[in-house]
Amino acid sequence: MVSGTISRIFSDQVLAYLRTLDEEVSDDLLPEPGEAVQYLEDGSYLYLSDFYQFLNRVETLTGNPDFGWDIYQDFDFRNMGIMGYAIVNSTHLKDAISVTCDYVQLVQSHTEVFLRPSLHHPDCMDLCYRVNSEGLASTHDTHMSLGFFIRLIQYLCNPDWSPVLIGLTHSERKQNISEKTQSLLLAEQPFNFVTIENHILEVQIAASDQRLYDIMCSNLTEKIDQQSETLSFFQELEDVIFQLLSDEECGIDKAAEHMCMSRRTLQRRLADHDVSFSYLVDNVRRHFACQLLHEAAISMIDIALTLGYSELAAFDRAFKRWHGITPTQYRELFFPK
């Protein structure tokens, strides 16, 4: 079971979309995407579980279950900084997609995104996307991501382009999505994907600048290298903490043993990022609580025990401190009977 992180770039774009729906809406009325992941120093990352709750609140606010397809309708990719400028200065569309795949796997952990030969159409490729986060999934995130790729191709190549085929891991609102995207749709697939013609992938981008592309890609590679070690360490530690929670041995000594390091080394690694062990334990409980609540077959008391609480009342108090509502209210809000 994993937690996962995602760049604030994506929540910022959702907020920008909401402002286009009502230009007079004040920021204090917009949903809050969640607090920054503390161990990533620039404060530009969220936990996936917070981001998914944020998307659920956006659906409630807009009354539109298909809003994810609209988020990038008028998006300028240069707003994404280094990656955006690498995209628009790529020589061919396939280069821009390659950069995008590398970037997504940097800013959204536990995610697979790649090109493969199409399983359904000759002379085509499938651009595939899937978040590997057991017990936590979001159709809104899927729709946003595929909408991002569609907009990317329209932005760089042809504003009227639509996918040859769209594949989804779910089957919700198939007809609506097919009509919205003007594409044939396959449901219940192992991966989400959009099918792209090979000749489109070879299209040369008119405004490309090879020198600028090389500079941006070099900067992006450096950023990936710097961040990957930190992400890997903390995600491994969070998984260890989760495994220890229900054993009543979730202390720093036991965690250090599982991480194959001394207590002092673990404390030093945490201090390097100004993070305490107790902060991580509380955060792991907070984010995995939401994942477990998505599993309707798991009872409240079992969730409480899994997270290391001796009684349901203690879990209720902690959850209300985190999210302002009880676990029961959370389930009723997002999974009405």
Spell out the per-residue pLDDT of the chain, length 337, in tens. Answer: 456 778 888 899 999 999 988 866 677 778 888 887 877 766 778 888 788 889 988 998 899 999 999 999 888 888 888 888 889 999 999 999 998 888 787 767 678 899 999 999 999 999 999 887 655 557 899 999 999 999 999 999 999 999 999 999 988 888 999 999 999 999 999 999 999 999 999 999 988 888 998 998 888 788 777 777 788 888 889 889 988 987 767 899 999 999 999 999 999 999 998 899 999 999 889 888 887 887 888 999 999 999 999 899 999 999 999 888 899 988 887 665 5
pLDDT of 37 reads: 80
**Which ranges in the chain belong to alpha helices (H)?**
8-21, 48-62, 82-88, 93-107, 139-156, 174-181, 198-201, 210-245, 252-258, 263-272, 277-293, 300-306, 312-323, 327-334
d(CA 325, CA 319): 7
Classify residue 170 by its DSSP letter. S
In terms of Cα–Cα distance, which of 132, 44, 62 is closest to 141? 132
Fold agreement (5-210, 227-334)? no
pLDDT of 184 reads: 94
In terms of Cα–Cα distance, which of 262, 258, 264 is closest to 244? 258
**Do 245 and 308 meet the contact criterion of CB atoms below 8 Å apart?**
yes
pLDDT of 8 reads: 86
User: Domain 227-334 in CATH: superfamily?
Assistant: Homeodomain-like (1.10.10.60)
CA dihedral 162, 167, 171, 172 (to 10 degrees): -40
Class of residue 233 by CB neighbours under 10 A (exposed 0-12, middle 13-18, buried 19+): middle
- Can you read off the two tokens belonging to residue 16? 């920008």
3-state secondary structure 97-157: HHHHHHHHHHHECCEEEEEEECCCCCCEEEEEEEECCCCCCCHHHHHHHHHHHHHHHHHHC
pLDDT of 261 reads: 95
**Do 156 and 87 meet the contact criterion of CB atoms below 8 Å apart?**
yes
Q: Position of tokens 């760089």?
A: 156
pLDDT of 84 reads: 86
d(CA 36, CA 44): 6
- The distance of Cα 79 from the centroid of its chain, to the nearest Å, equals 18
CA distances from 14 to 57, 62, 97, 137, 312 (A): 11, 12, 22, 18, 35
pLDDT of 135 reads: 52
d(CA 93, CA 10): 22
Characterize 190-217 residue by residue with b for buried, 16 or more Cβ atoms within 10 angstroms of its Cβ, and e for exposed. ebbbbbbbeebbebebeebeeeebeebb
- The distance of Cα 65 from the centroid of its chain, to the nearest Å, equals 18
**Do 97 and 200 meet the contact criterion of CB atoms below 8 Å apart?**
no
184: left (phi over 0), alpha (psi -120 to 50) or beta: beta
Amino acid identity of 2?
V
Assigned CATH topology for domain 5-210: H-NOX domain (3.90.1520)
What ranges do the domains of the chain cover?
A: 5-210, 227-334
d(CA 306, CA 6): 25
